[in-house]
Every structure is written in structure tokens, then in C-alpha cells.
Amino acid sequence: MSLSAVSVRQVSKTFARTRQPVHALHDVSLEIEAGEFFGLLGPNGAGKTTLISCMAGLCRQDAGSIHVLGHDTRSDYRAARRSLGVVPQELVFDPFFSVREILRLQSGYFGIKQNDAWIDELLSELDLSDKADHSMRSLSGGMKRRVLVAQALVHRPPVIILDEPTAGVDVALRQGLWHFIRRLNRDGHTIILTTHYLEEAEALCGRLALMRSGEICALEKTETLIRQFAKHRLTVRLSEGGFLPPLLAASAQALPDVERSWQWTLDELSDIESVLSALRESGCRLEDMSISPPDLETAFLKFMDNGVEETA
């Protein structure tokens, strides 16, 4: 049996700093295999960042255990921390050092000497070469985030956690970052991603965990979740003066924001032809039509809105 990249077993965490304790995590368990591109999704307050903080040793769980490549994050925290690179959600930086100095200091933190060749490669891949000697406080928000990515990767960790890495960054950085991260994943690095850009998770992640209220409520392959909770959608807009026969209207949903527009949710792509055929036979004239395939955003919203029971 191969060693898991990250093993989380019955982890719970409660913050009791206020009058009303906050149960951030409750009995969370999951296994992330080595080499996976894994997504951790959920609404704000679902417990994603708390779980990542426990993985990284930034806070201690009240119960349960976490292992990174077999290293317990409590009893063997040095090896666990060295195996992990974390890109935090917040922009945290030291304003008094240049970009290169920060990366050298981060290398020294992990006991790595003569790391300039890899630092130069990181600077090039993240389009930071011309900013290498600039202080952090002189950089834009997007540039600061690039430096955080470089910091997380400077010790070549086998497991990389990206907590909202593309929040507030430009399209060019986003595309360049994902090109680089895909390359690292192909080279064998395990990637754990949290993001509110669900199209990113759909394109990148082979498997997903959905969190809600501190619990894992779904743990499946991405394509399986989409297939279970999202359908094809056919949207039509009738020509001026047109109306939908009652029989067809019974199977459709009127779109209140768009005049004379109706939408069908269909299990199979072949069902679309049946609806279009019925529209033709009823003499309906179409002004516009669109077909939306099942996607992760639709599946995610339906899952969360309907309170679907756990499928893990």
C-alpha cells in the first residue's frame, strides 16, 4: 500500500475565544494520495483554512491526527513541515528585504545552502526576475502574491498547499502560475488547492472534498460530483408575441429576469432534441437559444443549497 501524501483522521478543532465557541472542524477524515491534484472547496467559514493551518502546524487540532508523508504534524513536526509548502490566503511579508533576500532567508530556514539556481528558476517562472532586488513594500499586490508562491516552493516541498493563490491577481499571472503548478504536479508533487474560482478547480483537480460547517460532506472524483449534481440546461427565448404551450411550460422554468425566456434541466444531451422537436411542433418561434453543459459551479451551488447528505 502506497504512502498517502496527507492523511487526516478524525480531526476536530474548536475556538473558544468568544462567549460562543466556534466548532471549526468536526471529525474530519480524508486521505490525499501522492501525486494528486486535490481540491478542497466550500463556502466562507466552512473550515478549509483551519484544516490547512492544522496540516501546516500553524494551529493544533483538539483531537485526531494529521500525517504528511507519514510524518505526524505534532510528534514529528520538523519533517512534516519540511515536506509541506503553503501559499497562504493573506498577503504576509517582510517589507525590509528584497525578493531575493527573502527567498534566501526562507531557504536557510530549511537548512538549504547554495539554492540560487532554484531561486532564479522560481523568479523566472513567476515573472519576478526584474523584481528580484526590489523591496517587498514596493511591489503590487499581485507581485507580492507571486513572492508568496516562490517562498512556498523554495525548499522544493513534495506537498504544496495553495490557499486561494489567484485571489485578486491578473489573468496573465493566473495562467502562468497554473502552467508552472501543472508542471510540478507532472513531476510528482502533490497539490492541494482551495479556491472560489470553481472553473479552476474543475479544470485542475482530479478529486474534490466539499466542506460545510466544519465537516467533509462530499469526497469524490470531480467528474463524478458534476455528473451527480449538475445537468444539461437548455435556455430559449421566444420571439415577440410567442407563448409556450402549457404542456411544455409544465416541464420548464420561466426566467423572470429575461422576458419570454424558459429553461429546461435535462439528464442527457439527447433530451435536448426532444424539447426542440416539441417546440417546433407547437409552432414556437425562437429568438435565441443556448445550451449549458453540466459544470462544477452548478453542481456546487445545488449541493450546498439543497443540503445534500454526505457522499464520502
Query: 215: domain CATH number?
Result: 3.40.50.300
pLDDT exceeds 80 at position 213: yes
Output the nine-digit C-alpha cell for 286.
425562437
CA 175 – CA 54 distance, rounded (Å): 29
Of 226, 247, 269, which marks where a domain is finished? 226
Are 61 and 198 within one domain?
yes
Residues 135 and 32 grouped into a single domain: yes
In the chain, the number of structural domains is 2
Statement to judge: residues 136 and 283 lie in one domain = no
Q: How many CB atoms lie within 10 A of CB 199?
A: 11
Q: How much is the pLDDT for 307?
A: 54
Q: 173 lies in a domain?
A: yes
Highest mean pLDDT of the ranges 50-59, 90-99, 240-249: 50-59
Is 10 a member of any domain?
A: yes
Q: CB neighbours of 29 closer than 8 A, spacing ≥ 6?
A: 8, 9, 10, 11, 64, 216
Same domain, 116 and 213: yes
Which amino acid does the sequence have at 275?
Answer: V
**pLDDT tens-place string over residues 214-230:** 999 889 899 888 877 77
CA–CA separation, 28 vs 87, rounded Å? Answer: 22
In a domain, 301, yes or no: no
Q: What is the pTM of this model?
A: 0.81
CA distances from residue 154 to 95, 100, 104, 109 in whole angstroms, order as listed = 19, 11, 8, 10
Please tell me which of 58-62, 89-93, 240-244 the model is most confident about, judged by mean pLDDT.
Answer: 58-62
Domain membership of residue 298 (yes or no) is no
Which range among 99-113, 213-227, 234-248 shows the weakest confidence by mean pLDDT?
Answer: 234-248
pLDDT of residue 42 exceeding 50, the answer is yes
pLDDT exceeds cutoff 60 at 303: yes
pLDDT at 115 > cutoff 70: yes
pLDDT reported for residue 159: 96
What string of H, E and C letters represents the secondary structure of 104-137?
A: HHHHHHCCCCCCHHHHHHHHHHCCCHHHCCCEHH
Cell of 265: 434541466
165 and 236 fall within a common domain: no
Can you give the pLDDT at residue 310? 41
What is the arithmetic mean of pLDDT over 271-289? 79
Domain boundary among 226, 246, 270: 226
Residue 299 covered by a domain: no
pLDDT (average), residues 19-25? 85
Indicate the pLDDT class of residue 311, thresholds 50, 70 and 90: very low
Total residues found in the chain within this entry: 312
Q: What is the mean pLDDT of the chain?
A: 85
pLDDT at res. 283 = 77
CATH of the domain at 268: 3.30.70
Tell me the pLDDT tens digit for each residue of 255-264.
877 777 878 8
Q: Are residues 165 and 259 in the same domain?
A: no
Please check whether residue 158 lies inside any domain of the structure.
Answer: yes
Q: Nearest-CA neighbor of 195 among 41, 30, 38?
A: 41
Q: In angstroms, what CA-CA distances link 162 with 87, 90, 148, 181, 194?
A: 5, 11, 10, 10, 6
Please state the φ and ψ torsions of residue 171, each to the nearest 5 degrees.
-65, -40
Q: Please state, in angstroms and rounded to a whole number, the distance separating the CA atoms of residues 103 and 302.
A: 43
**Residue 142 is assigned to a structural domain of this protein:** yes
Question: Distance between CA atoms of 202 and 186, rounded to whole angstroms?
Answer: 17
The verdict on residue 90 lying in a domain is yes
| Percentage of residues in the chain having pLDDT higher than 90 | 42
Residue 289: predicted pLDDT: 81
Whether residues 115 and 196 share a domain: the answer is: yes
In a shared domain, residues 203 and 149? yes
Whether 153 and 34 share a structural domain: yes
Q: How far apart are CA 298 and CA 265, in angstroms?
A: 11
- Are residues 172 and 281 both part of a single domain? no
**Does 67 lie in the same domain as 30?**
yes
Tell me, what's the pLDDT at 52? 93
Q: Which range marks the domain in which residue 240 is found? A: 231-293
Q: Which of 197, 226, 255 is the last residue of a domain?
A: 226
Can you tell me whether residue 304 is helix, strand or coil? Answer: helix
Domain match, 219 and 238 both: no
Q: What is the DSSP letter of 98?
A: B
